[in-house]
Structure 1
Amino acid sequence: MRGRPSPFSPRGATRGFTMIEVLVALAIIAVALAASIRAVGTMASNAAELHRRLLAGWSADNALAQLRLAHAWPAIGEQRFDCSQGNVQLVCTQRVSTTPNPVFRRVEVSVSTPGESGVLAQMVTVVANETSRSL
């Protein structure tokens, strides 16, 4: 019986992919691409946040360095000032408080972004009263 070969026989099978196989492959590729795009977006967002925190740390360090270099006895209280770095708008809040030893004052600098809640960086130091120090 030689006639038409059966579509299920190996000799009669045609080569290539069926439409279902192509659609399944495309769906798998689409899911993989979507996952990779999301991962890249998350990495970019994390890098931007890390950059902001780095600049905020530098701003806090700069504020404390200026205080040390001034050799001035800081007044107790809170002070806010602009401490922007690069193209990032930042606001520093400097809080000066007493310590158990009257010769020292505790200085805390917190850095935040204007209009947003939360602190990007915070540094604390103790400043000695150099004006009352004997030589």
Structure 2
Amino acid sequence: MNRRQQGFTLIEVMVALLVFGLIATAASEVGSQYINTYERVRDKTLATWIAENRMAELRLAEAFPGIDETTRELEYGTYRWQVTTEIKATEEASIRRVDIHVGRFAGEGAEDPPPLHTLSGFIGEQGR
């Protein structure tokens, strides 16, 4: 009596596992890229808001800013940020150029972070 075997052969199982492994690897890569992109956009957005807030502070200040470069740290969201403000002279004495660089610290004791966002603008002296 001939009995027909049912089920998968070892080769079929190995091919199925190979295909599943390739699909899982590709899905993992896509997920990783999505997370990296999300984090980059989040950091860029927060850095933009911080720079715009700093520019608004300078524009709303009572006194016309002097030529200066300052660096300060602040907590924004759940992260520590470094904000460097460069105020430079222009050919017109009643106008200052302002460059604001914002970077996010990687962790405790981290070195100065590279800028994630730079905002440049001009501030004019009122009443001149």
TM range (shorter): 0.7 to 0.9
Q: 2:104 & 2:90 partners in 1: Cα distance?
A: 29
Give the unaligned 5+ runs of structure 2. Answer: 106-110
Count how many residue pairs are aligned between Structure 1 and Structure 2: 123
Structure (1 or 2) with the greater strand fraction: 2
Alignment match of 2:119 (pick from 123, 128, 131) = 123
| CA shift digits 1:69-100 (9 cap, x unpaired) | 11321110210112331101111000010111
Q: 1:119 & 1:89 partners in 2: Cα distance?
A: 13
How far 1:15 moved relative to its partner?
4.3
- TM-score if structure 2 supplies the norm length? 0.86
1:8 corresponds to: none
Does the Cα contact within 8 Å between 2:82 and 2:113 map onto a contact in 1?
no
1:70 corresponds to: 61
Structure 1 letter corresponding to 2:47: A
Give the unaligned 5+ runs of structure 1. Answer: 6-11
Alignment match of 1:86 (pick from 71, 74, 77) = 77
Does the Cα contact within 8 Å between 2:98 and 2:123 map onto a contact in 1?
yes
Q: 2:82 & 2:66 partners in 1: Cα distance?
A: 19
Runs of 4+ in structure 1 displaced over 6 angstroms? Answer: none
Question: 1:26-65, aligned counterparts within 5 Å?
Answer: 26-65=17-56
Does the Cα contact within 8 Å between 1:110 and 1:121 map onto a contact in 2?
yes
- TM-score if structure 1 supplies the norm length? 0.82
Give the alignment's Cα RMSD to 1 decimal: 1.9
Does the Cα contact within 8 Å between 1:90 and 1:112 map onto a contact in 2?
yes
Task: State the identity %.
Answer: 26
